[in-house]
Each structure stands twice: as structure tokens, then as C-alpha cells.
């Protein structure tokens, strides 16, 4: 694999990873904020 | 040589993929898995549906006095804590004119005489003059300071009682804690459930944001002991705080268990006779020197036999025999 190709693939994989992680973290934070302690404890075995 | 380089390049890419996959899996297990079932049909049934407590909608969840005389003239704006919504919705439906409560797409309309905020918002609103009566538990030190700094003195009239409760998942074998153990858990002295007769698993001591009714109640239980920060609660089995009716009445108690404190279960009897050690008052709060006579009429109604019957039927403990 050429260096340029490798760097492009690496950049794309990294960007995709950051995007998915950020979206997941925001989604999780919003869910976390939207429920009460009571509901969270009911879910949390 | 090229093959070695290719293997290295593929290894780097694989490492990045595995790194992000691990990170995402961690986020899923620590955050999302614990809250995702909130959106299942079963969990939605347990959620507090504010729309079930809108006065003048023939809601079966609201208990009101049908024959009570309605207020006339300047109708006081009423607000309060989430855990007390059923009670003050009943007061409003009893004595407020039906046209005074107005809803909007995202809750109550700004001109409505009834609002539903929360303890923090309600205390701010009574000081700022956006509410005339609020129904809440005792204020925190910060809330009293905010009133004082703004030159507002608050009158507090106890209209009901409720218990401050500690809850665990219903799979937790622990059913009883002492007040000292509670202080140990929330200060970080007691870190594992096995120290209080449970499984060998860390305690995730969950609490709320400063100024909320239950957090203020927890601060009172803790006395001078500091509460350890909430961000340490990602691992282990949880313990949380709430008010009794919020758990038993509004959420149906599904999946959680209310702990006995010092061997006493929080029931209507143990709260009323004071044997449950962490019971608390529910107050109607208004500004001292309030000029609107309807504020006093509304508070008088809350303490009347009809008002106290609403307190009892809504699931709280009356301060006077209904």
C-alpha cells in the first residue's frame, strides 16, 4: 500500500471512529439526562 | 519488505478500529445500556407522565373537591416540585377557574396560573415574582440565600408530609440500612455492599444536582459529612434517593426497592408518627407580605378538610385529619 493511500485510509477510519464515538456519547448523555434516578436504578442490575 | 510494511499498515488501521470499537462498547455499557430500556413500552409506563396531571382534563389521576368554591379575581400562579405535582394539580382543579390553566405544546403556557417546573425552578420563580405559591420540600441553604439576597422573605406553611427514601435495584439483597450507614455510603467511607450485608460489589451512590428537593434532603441527612461526587458512580450496584410518593405512586415502584431505615419502613403510619427517621415536610410557600388575598385563600384551602383529603387521596400524608 502506498503511504498516501495508507494515510487516507487511516484518516477516514479515524474520522469515522471519532464521529461514531461523539454521536454515541451525545446520545448517551441525553438519555442519561432525561431519566430519573428511580428509572435508572430500575434498569441497573 | 513491502509485505512487512503492508502488515504494519494494516496493523495500525486494525488498532485504530479496535480502539474506537472498544471505546464505543464502553460508552454503550456505561451509559446507554442503563438508560436504553427507558424507551421500552414497559419503562415508558413507569415514566412520570406530566400529561396525566393536567387539571380540568377529567384525569383519573387527579383527586379534587368538586364542590369547593372557585377563586375569583387575581388568580395566584402556582408551581412546585415534580414529586408533588399530583397534589397541587388537585388543589388547582378544586378551586381555580378552569380557564386559568392553559397548556402549550411543550407544557404550560406562560400566561397559565399553573406551572410545573421543579424544586430549583420553583424557588427561583417565587423569589423572582414569576410564581405566587410554590409547593415544595424545605429549601436549601443556597435557595434561602438567593431569597435573602433579593430582599424576599418566604412564608412556609406545612400542608403535608412525605418520606425521603433510599432506593436500590430490586435484585439487591440489602433491604435495611441505618442512618449512619447511609452517611458512610454517601461520604465514601463505605464503598462496597458487602460492608452492609450485601454482595461483594462496589456501591454506586447516586445523588442529584444541587438545589433539587431530594438533594437538599440528602444534605440534611448527611449533616456535616461531605457528599462524595456523583461522577464516581459508573461502576457497581446503585443506591439512589427520592421521595416516597414519587417512587410508589408516580412510578409504580417497578424494578426498584425502597430501603427500611433503622429497621423502619416508610409508610403513612411511620411517617405520621415520626418513627421513620428521614420524613420531611411538604410546604406551601409564598412571599411574606403578599397582597393578593387569593394566595391566603388557596393556602387555607390546602389546610381545610377538603384540601387535606386531596393530600391523602393523592398519596401523601396529611398534617391534619381529613
User: What are the tens digits of pLDDT across the range A4-31?
Assistant: 999 999 999 999 999 999 998 888 877 7
Closest alpha carbon within chain A to B46: A39
**Contact at CB, B20 and A10, closer than 8 angstroms:** no
- A 3-42 residues with CB below 8 A of B? 6, 9-10, 13-14, 16-18, 20-21, 24-25, 27-29, 31-32, 34-42
pLDDT at site B123: 93
pLDDT mean over B112-135: 92
Judged by CB atoms closer than 8 Å, whether chains meet at A43 and B27 is answered as no
pLDDT score, position B131 = 96
Q: For position B48, what pLDDT does the model report?
A: 52
pLDDT at B27 over 90: no
Task: Give dist(CA B55, CA B64) in Å, integer.
Answer: 9
The whole-angstrom distance between B116's CA and the closest CA on chain A is 16
Q: Taking CB atoms and an 8 Å limit, are A31 and B47 in contact across chains?
A: no
| Average pLDDT of the segment spanning B146-173 | 93
Distance (Å) of CA B179 to CA B171, B186, B238: 22, 11, 17
* Per-residue pLDDT at A43: 75
- Residues B304, B279: Cα–Cα separation, whole Å: 22
pLDDT band at B125 (very low <50, low <70, confident <90, very high): very high
Per residue in B73-113, pLDDT tens?
999 999 998 878 889 999 999 999 999 999 887 778 889 99
Q: Do A39 and B47 touch (CB under 8 A)?
A: yes
pLDDT of amino acid B90: 95
Q: Which residues, at least 6 apart from B110, have a Cβ–Cβ distance to it below 8 Å?
A: B104
Cβ-Cβ contacts under 8 Å for B234 (sequence gap 6 or more): B30, B204
In angstroms, the CA B17 to CA B94 distance is 62
The secondary element (H helix, E strand) that includes residue A43 is helix A37-43
Give the closest residue to B260 by CA, choosing from B168, B156, B198: B168
Q: Is the pLDDT of residue B44 over 50?
A: no
Task: Measure in Å the smallest separation between the Cα of B168 and chain A Cα atoms.
Answer: 6
pLDDT band at B41 (very low <50, low <70, confident <90, very high): very low
Adjacent-strand bridge partners of B158: B283
Q: By CA distance, what is B16's nearest residue in A?
A: A14
Predicted local confidence at residue B49, as pLDDT: 63
Provide, as residue numbers in chain B, all residues whose Cβ is less than 8 Å from the Cβ of A22. none
Cα distance between residue B61 and residue B87, in whole Å: 10
Contact B16 A13 (CB under 8 A): yes
Question: Which pLDDT score is estimated for A12?
Answer: 95
- Ramachandran area for residue B98 (φ above 0: left; ψ -120 to 50: alpha; else beta): alpha
pLDDT, residue B253, reads: 52
pLDDT band at B231 (very low <50, low <70, confident <90, very high): low
Q: Does the pLDDT of residue B248 top 50, yes or no? A: yes
Amino acid at each position: 500500500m502506498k503511504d498516501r493511500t495508507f494515510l487516507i485510509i487511516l484518516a477516514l477510519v479515524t474520522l469515522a471512529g471519532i464521529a461514531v464515538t461523539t454521536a454515541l456519547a451525545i446520545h448517551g448523555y441525553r438519555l442519561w439526562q432525561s431519566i430519573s434516578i428511580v428509572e435508572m436504578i430500575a434498569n441497573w442490575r | 519488505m513491502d509485505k512487512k510494511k503492508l502488515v504494519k499498515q494494516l496493523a495500525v488501521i486494525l488498532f485504530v478500529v479496535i480502539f474506537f470499537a472498544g471505546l464505543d462498547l464502553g460508552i454503550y455499557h456505561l451509559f446507554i445500556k442503563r438508560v436504553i430500556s427507558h424507551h421500552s413500552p414497559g419503562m415508558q409506563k413507569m415514566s412520570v407522565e406530566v400529561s396525566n396531571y393536567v387539571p380540568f382534563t377529567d384525569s383519573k389521576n387527579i383527586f379534587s373537591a368538586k364542590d369547593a368554591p372557585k377563586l375569583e379575581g387575581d388568580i395566584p400562579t402556582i408551581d412546585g416540585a415534580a414529586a408533588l405535582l399530583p397534589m397541587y394539580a388537585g388543589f388547582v382543579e378544586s378551586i381555580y377557574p378552569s380557564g386559568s390553566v392553559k397548556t402549550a405544546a411543550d407544557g404550560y403556557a406562560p400566561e397559565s396560573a399553573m406551572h410545573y417546573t421543579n424544586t430549583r425552578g420553583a424557588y427561583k420563580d417565587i423569589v423572582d415574582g414569576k410564581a405566587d405559591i410554590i409547593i415544595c420540600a424545605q429549601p436549601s441553604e443556597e435557595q434561602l440565600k438567593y431569597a435573602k439576597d433579593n430582599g424576599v422573605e418566604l412564608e412556609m406553611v406545612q400542608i403535608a408530609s412525605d418520606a425521603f427514601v433510599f432506593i436500590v435495584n430490586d435484585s439487591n439483597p440489602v433491604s435495611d440500612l441505618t442512618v449512619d450507614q447511609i452517611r458512610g455510603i454517601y461520604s465514601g467511607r463505605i464503598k462496597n455492599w458487602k460492608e452492609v450485608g450485601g454482595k461483594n460489589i462496589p456501591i454506586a451512590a447516586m445523588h442529584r444536582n444541587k438545589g433539587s428537593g431530594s438533594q437538599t434532603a440528602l444534605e440534611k441527612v448527611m449533616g456535616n459529612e461531605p457528599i462524595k461526587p456523583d461522577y464516581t458512580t459508573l461502576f457497581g450496584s446503585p443506591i439512589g434517593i427520592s421521595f416516597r410518593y414519587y417512587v410508589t405512586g408516580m412510578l409504580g415502584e417497578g424494578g426498584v426497592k425502597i430501603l427500611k431505615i433503622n429497621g423502619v419502613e416508610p409508610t403513612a403510619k411511620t411517617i405520621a408518627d415520626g418513627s421513620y427517621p428521614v420524613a420531611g415536610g411538604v410546604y406551601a410557600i409564598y412571599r411574606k407580605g403578599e397582597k393578593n388575598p387569593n394566595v391566603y385563600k388557596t393556602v387555607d384551602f390546602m389546610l381545610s378538610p377538603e384540601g387535606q383529603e386531596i393530600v391523602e387521596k393523592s398519596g401523601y400524608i396529611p398534617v391534619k385529619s381529613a
